[in-house]
Amino acid sequence: MSKISIELLKGRWIFAVGPLRISIISGKIDVFGWEYKKDDELIIQEFRSAPILALENSKITIQFSEKSYISVSDKPLIPDEWKKFAEECLNKKKKPLKIMVIGSVDTGKTGLVTFLANYFLKKKKKIAVIDADTGQQDIAFPTCIGMGFVEKPITHLSEIEMSDAFFIGRTSPAELFDRVLVGLRFLMKKALENHAEIILLDTTGWVFDLGRELKISKILSTEPDMIALLEAENELYHYEATLKEIARGLNVKIRHLPASPVLRARTREERREIRKRLYLKAFVDAKEISLKLHDLSILYGYIGTGKLTKIDELICEEHPEKIIIFSQKDIEADIIKAIEEKFNKKAIVFNPDELKEILVGLIDKNMHFLGLGIVSNYNPETDEIKIYTRAPQDKIVGLIWGLMKITINGEEKAWLKPWQI
C-alpha cells in the first residue's frame, strides 16, 4: 500500500473509501460521531466508506491502495439533523428505546445507524443493533438477520460482533415476509433479555411496491419509538401519510432526515463480491458432518418432517397432504398411481440429489443460531444427511431449510421457491 500525509484545517472533511489505514499524527478528528486523537489508528475496510471531520487542525497519514478513494470537502458530510435526531432520542428517556431507520438504496442508512451507535456509546448506553438487510448483511451472514451489541466505537456495522442471528434462507426477503417478521421479533426479544437500553434497527433499501408492505409490517410488528425516514428528496412522504393514525396509536415519532450528501454506490459486482467473502468467512475451518435428518427439528420445509416408510424397494416420506417418493431414477406412472391409491394422497417423486448445495441454517435447543451449512448429500435409505459446516455437531438440534444453492467457494447458484423441498 502507498502512504500520504494530509494536514487538515479545523472544520474540513474527508470522504474516504477503503481499504485505508488512518493514523492521527496530531490534532483530533471525528469519524461517524466518535473522536480520535494523536496516536489513534482506524481502518476502513474495502468497499466501506467513512466521513472524517477535523475537530481541530490535524495531521494524519493514510495508507491506501489503488482501490481506495479520498476526497477533501468544506461541506459537512454528516448532516446536523442526524445529531439533533440522536439528541431527541436520548431526551425521550425511555428504556428500552427502539429506533428504526428506513431509506432507499444508497441513502446512508448504515451510516446513520453507525453514527447513532457511536453517539449513544459516548453516553454509556447499552446498544443492540439489528441488521435486517439479508442481502447486504453486516453483522451476521447473507440470508440472515443479525444482532450484536456495540462494545466499542465503530466505523462500520461489520465491526460489531454477532451475538445471535435468525436464518431467513435467501438474500431477498421477497415471498419471505413471515420469516423476516418472526426473525425481528426473535432478535428483539434476545436484545431485551440482555438488557439493551437502545435497540437500533437497520432495514433494507426496498421501500417501494411490496417493500413498502414489508416496512409497514416491520413497524407494526416491532412497535419502534422513533422512526428515521432517510431520504434525498422527500421520496418517503407516503410512509408518514400511511402511518399517520397508526403512529398516533403506537406513540411513535416519525422524523424525515436528509440522506448522506456524499455516497459511493456499490456496483452489483461489488455487492456480489462482499456476499461471497462473507460466505467464505462463514465456512472458515468448516468440515463435513453427518446427522440423522429425522432426528432434527425441521423448519420451513417438508423433507425431514414426515414419516419414513418403505414400499417395495422405494423409500417414501408420508405427509398429511402428500407422499414423497425418493428416487434418483424415473418411476413408472403405474407405480406412482398405485402408491397414491394405497395412501389416498398425491405422490411426488423427489431426487435426493436435489438437496445438494442447498444452504441451511443450524440451531441449538434454544433456537440460537449456530451457523450456516451446505448440504453435501442425503441418503433416504439410512436417513443420513451430510452437511458442510463449522457449527458444533454436538449442539445441533434443528435445521432450517434455505432457499438458495451455493458452492463451498461462496458462489451463489440458484434460488428455490418457499416450501419447494
**Domains in the chain: boundaries:** 2-73, 80-280, 283-315+351-415
Task: Compute φ and ψ for 65, nearest 5 degrees.
Answer: -120, 180
pLDDT of residue 38: 95
pLDDT of residue 263: 67
Dihedral of CA 330/333/339/344: which sign? positive
Q: The CATH number of 2-73 is which of 3.40.50.2300, 3.40.50.2000, 2.60.40.10, 2.60.120.1030?
A: 2.60.120.1030
Residues 298-353: pLDDT tens digits? 999 999 999 999 998 999 999 999 999 999 999 999 999 999 999 999 999 999 99
What rounded mean pLDDT belongs to the chain?
94
* Displacement of CA 210 from its chain's centroid (Å): 19
Half-sphere exposure of 188 (CA within 13 A, CB side): 23
The yes or no reply on domain 80-280 and CATH 3.40.50.300 is yes
Asked if residue 216 has pLDDT above 70, the reply is yes
Please tell me the total number of residues recorded for the chain in this structure.
421
pLDDT of residue 235: 87
**Which runs of E-coded beta strand occur in 185-252?**
198-202, 226-231
**Given this structure, which CATH class describes domain 283-315+351-415?**
mainly beta
